[in-house]
Amino acid sequence: MQELNSRKRVTVPVWEKYMLTVEEAARYFGIGEKKIRNLIAENIGSEYCFTIQIGNKSLINRQKFEEFLNQITSL
């Protein structure tokens, strides 16, 4: 038990993460959380789907979301 507590948590910078939470994506891309949640809802099951659901939590594929944002003309 002592060994588990002595391990340090490694923090990965947000720009190196593969998947982002909605909150991380909002900070990284400079878009509001509500707008990101709306984009997720509008694009579930489409060819532009950039998220996975784990329980109630949405995780955003950073690279796919970047591509999506580059393809749309306005938010």
Domains of the chain: 17-71 (3.90.105.50)
64 neighbors 72 (Cβ within 8 angstroms): no
pLDDT in tens, 9-67: 888 888 889 999 999 999 999 999 999 999 999 998 888 889 999 999 999 999 999 99
Q: DSSP H helical segments within the chain, as ranges?
A: 2-6, 22-29, 33-43, 62-71
What is the pTM (predicted TM-score) of this model?
A: 0.77
pLDDT band at 3 (very low <50, low <70, confident <90, very high): low
- d(CA 23, CA 45) in angstroms, rounded, equals 22
| Beta-ladder partners of 61 | 19
d(CA 21, CA 44): 16
